[in-house]
């Protein structure tokens, strides 16, 4: 794919294409927005466009067409006419970046939830050479907020003195967790949650059946990448099983902090729906539209105040998960909160 194929991020894509067209690529960017809305996809395709062998960009000063195909014409067959600053998605460079094998492209992601200083050193090393094949050396740091303090300090030095012909793209769904000194060095590009229609277009590439498609699009809440990365109906069954266990006074059913985060994410959607049903009585507004009867049972045994209180508490706990809450204490606390409210 190319930048132009990204669905539902018209503003961000237009900015990136404008940057490419004007040849005003900065040395560092911060792509922000909720997870699953297409930030990483955009970063990879921005990288492809920067090094594409088939882009044609018009130089503003001379009005001449600078065509990158000439120097590389021995490497690749060239389609014509060439009028775009976007990636062609067909040349050797585009294919290598897509496959993660381009020598001038590096994608860094957290391991065990952290980006450590060793990884930042490998970024520095990669950037210390001139581009081998492409016009730019590009590093994409996914989930950049996962840098620990020593990694962030080391990274700041790189951002302060960016090597020539290098572009660093930080991708983050929680940019506020990045040090302000890092944020201020980067040009920020914002990504928004997708509309239901755009989400369906993205998800529709992989899911068959209109009803299933609509349900998954609703459950993904404008973050189709999230829907594509996990089976959302399975995720919801898992949530409901644990919820039943919790209400039935069973022991802690989470195995990791990741489980806790996933469970609270689902819980917030679930109780949001129960609140919507209690307030509007309109099942068409539900995200979990297929669970309307089950939800109606819940909303009968709770008053609005109780539902809102549960939602507030779940969202408070979800935020506190950042601070390593104890698993079984959190489970017991949540269980007693729910049981108390449900008992009226």
**Residue 53 Cβ vs Zn ion, minimum distance, rounded to whole Å:** 5
| Cα atoms found within 13 Å of the Cα of residue 162, Cβ hemisphere only | 19
**Residue 87 Cβ vs Zn ion, minimum distance, rounded to whole Å:** 5
**Residue 277 Cβ vs Zn ion, minimum distance, rounded to whole Å:** 50
Cβ distance 270 to 301 under 8 Å? Answer: no
Cβ distance 327 to 252 under 8 Å? Answer: yes
* Residue number with CB closer to Zn ion (77 or 297): 77
Q: Where are the beta strands (DSSP E) in the chain?
A: 28-32, 56-58, 65-67, 105-108, 137-141, 166-172, 187-190
Cβ distance 31 to 170 under 8 Å? Answer: yes
* Residue number with CB closer to Zn ion (27 or 93): 93
Binding site for Zn ion (CB under 5 A): 52, 54, 87-88, 91, 94
**Residue 48 Cβ vs Zn ion, minimum distance, rounded to whole Å:** 6
**Residue 97 Cβ vs Zn ion, minimum distance, rounded to whole Å:** 9
* Residue number with CB closer to Zn ion (45 or 54): 54
The residues near 26 (Cβ < 8 Å, ≥ 6 apart) are 19, 167, 186, 187
Q: What share of the chain is helix, strand, coil (3-state, %, to 5)?
A: 55, 10, 35
- Cα gap 19→139, rounded to integer Å: 18
- Cα gap 39→110, rounded to integer Å: 16
* Residue number with CB closer to Zn ion (98 or 313): 98
DSSP letter assigned to residue 19: H
* Residue number with CB closer to Zn ion (98 or 124): 98
* Residue number with CB closer to Zn ion (72 or 331): 72
**Residue 292 Cβ vs Zn ion, minimum distance, rounded to whole Å:** 48
DSSP letter assigned to residue 176: G
**Residue 229 Cβ vs Zn ion, minimum distance, rounded to whole Å:** 26
* Residue number with CB closer to Zn ion (72 or 271): 72
**Residue 86 Cβ vs Zn ion, minimum distance, rounded to whole Å:** 9
Chain CA centroid to CA 197, Å: 19
**Residue 26 Cβ vs Zn ion, minimum distance, rounded to whole Å:** 21
DSSP letter assigned to residue 146: G
* 4-8 LR contacts (CB < 8 Å, sep 24+): 4/84, 4/86, 5/45, 5/89, 6/38, 6/41, 6/42, 6/45, 7/38, 7/194, 7/198, 7/201, 7/202, 8/37, 8/38, 8/192, 8/194, 8/195, 8/198, 8/199, 8/201, 8/202, 8/224
């Amino acid at each position: 794919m190319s930048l132009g194929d990204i669905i539902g991020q018209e503003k961000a894509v237009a900015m990136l294409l404008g940057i490419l067209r004007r040849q005003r690529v900065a040395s560092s960017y911060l792509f922000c927005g909720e997870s699953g809305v297409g930030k990483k996809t955009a970063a990879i395709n921005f990288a492809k466009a920067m090094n594409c062998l088939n882009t044609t960009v018009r130089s503003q000063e001379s009005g001449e067409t600078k065509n990158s195909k000439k120097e590389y014409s021995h490497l690749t067959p060239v389609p014509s006419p060439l009028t775009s600053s976007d990636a062609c998605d067909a040349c050797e460079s585009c294919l290598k970046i897509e496959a993660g094998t381009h020598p001038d492209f590096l994608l860094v992601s957290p391991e065990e939830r952290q980006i450590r200083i060793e990884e930042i050193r490998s970024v520095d090393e990669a950037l210390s050479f001139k581009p081998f094949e492409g016009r730019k050396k590009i590093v994409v740091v996914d989930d950049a907020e996962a840098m620990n303090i020593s990694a962030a300090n080391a990274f700041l030095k790189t951002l302060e003195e960016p090597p020539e012909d290098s572009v660093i793209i930080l991708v983050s769904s929680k940019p506020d967790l990045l040090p302000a000194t890092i944020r201020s060095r980067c040009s920020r590009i914002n990504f928004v949650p997708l509309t239901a229609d755009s989400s369906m277009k993205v998800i529709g590439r992989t899911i068959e059946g209109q009803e299933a498609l609509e349900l998954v699009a609703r459950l993904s809440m404008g973050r189709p990448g999230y829907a594509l990365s996990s089976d959302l109906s399975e995720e919801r069954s898992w949530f409901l099983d644990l919820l039943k266990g919790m209400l039935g006074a069973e022991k802690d059913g989470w195995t990791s902090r990741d489980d806790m985060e996933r469970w609270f994410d689902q819980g917030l959607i679930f109780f949001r729906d129960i609140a919507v049903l209690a307030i509007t009585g309109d099942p068409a507004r539900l995200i979990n539209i297929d669970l309307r009867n089950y939800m109606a049972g819940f909303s009968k045994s709770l008053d609005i105040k109780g539902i809102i209180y549960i939602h507030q508490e779940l969202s408070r706990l979800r935020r506190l998960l950042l601070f390593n809450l104890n698993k079984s204490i959190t489970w017991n606390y949540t269980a007693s909160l729910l049981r108390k409210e449900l008992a009226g």
